[in-house]
Amino acid sequence: MKKESENKISKIQDEDFQSFLSYLSTIRGYSDKTRVSYGEDVADFLLYLSKQGKEKGNIDKEIIRAYLLDLNLNSLDKNTIKRRISALKHFYKYLYTYRGYQGNPFETITSPKKDKKLPTFLTYEEICQFLDANMKREDRLAARDQAILELCFASGLRASEVISIQSKDIDFGEKRIRVFGKGKKERVVPFSDIAKDAIQEYSSNLRKILLKDISKDPGFLFLNSKGERLTERGLEYIVEKAAIKCGFPLKVHPHMLRHSFATELLNNGADLRVIQELLGHESISTTSIYTHVSYADLKKTYDACFPKGNTTISLEQRYVIFDFNGTMFFDEDKHVVSWRDFAKEKFGVEIQDEDFPLHIHGFNNAEILSWLAKKEFSKEEVALLTKEKELYYQKLCEADVENLHLVDGLEEFLDRLVASGVKIGIATASQKPNVDWYLKTFHLLKWFKEENIIYDDGTLTKGKPDPMIYERALERMGADRRFTVVFEDALSGIKSAYGAKVNRVIALANGEKAKQVSKMKEVHSVIENFKKLSKEDEDFIFLLKNK
CA angle 248, 253, 254 (to 5 degrees): 120
Is 134 within 8 Å of 145 (Cβ atoms)?
yes
**Whole-angstrom Cα distance, residue 144 to residue 124?**
22
Active site residue 281: yes
Instruction: List the catalytic residue out of 182, 229, 253, 532.
Output: 182
Instruction: List the catalytic residue out of 30, 94, 202, 290.
Output: 290
Number of H-type helices and E-type strands within the chain: 25, 9
458 CB-contact burial (10 Å; exposed 0-12 / middle 13-18 / buried 19+): middle
Instruction: List the catalytic residue out of 93, 175, 229, 255.
Output: 255
Instruction: List the catalytic residue out of 56, 83, 84, 258.
Output: 258
Nearest CA to 457 out of 428, 490, 426 is that of 428
129's enclosing H/E stretch is helix 124-135
Active site residue 99: no
The Cα-based distances of 129 to 122, 159, 243, 342, 366 in angstroms read 10, 22, 11, 70, 60
Instruction: List the catalytic residue out of 56, 84, 144, 158.
Output: 158
Q: Which residues contact 505 (CB under 8 A, 6 or more apart)?
A: 485, 486, 488, 494, 497, 498, 522, 523, 524
Residue 158, SS3?
coil
Active site residue 255: yes
**Whole-angstrom Cα distance, residue 191 to residue 174?**
9
345's enclosing H/E stretch is helix 332-347
Q: Kindly write down the DSSP assignment for every residue of 494-520, as one continuous string.
A: HHHHHHTT-SEEEEE--HHHHHHHHT-
Nearest CA to 287 out of 271, 300, 301 is that of 271
**Whole-angstrom Cα distance, residue 204 to residue 226?**
17
Nearest CA to 455 out of 481, 437, 482, 479 is that of 437
Q: How many CB atoms lie within 10 A of CB 45?
A: 23
The Cα-based distances of 170 to 25, 165, 385 in angstroms read 30, 8, 57
Instruction: List the catalytic residue out of 8, 83, 281, 481.
Output: 281
Q: What are phi and psi of 431, to 5 degrees?
A: -95, 170
How would you classify residue 120: left for phi > 0, otherwise alpha for psi between -120 and 50, otherwise beta? beta
The pairing of beta strand 423-427 with beta strand 453-454: parallel
Active site residue 258: yes
Strand partners, 406: 329
Is 282 within 8 Å of 31 (Cβ atoms)?
no
The residues annotated as belonging to the active site are 158, 182, 255, 258, 281, 290
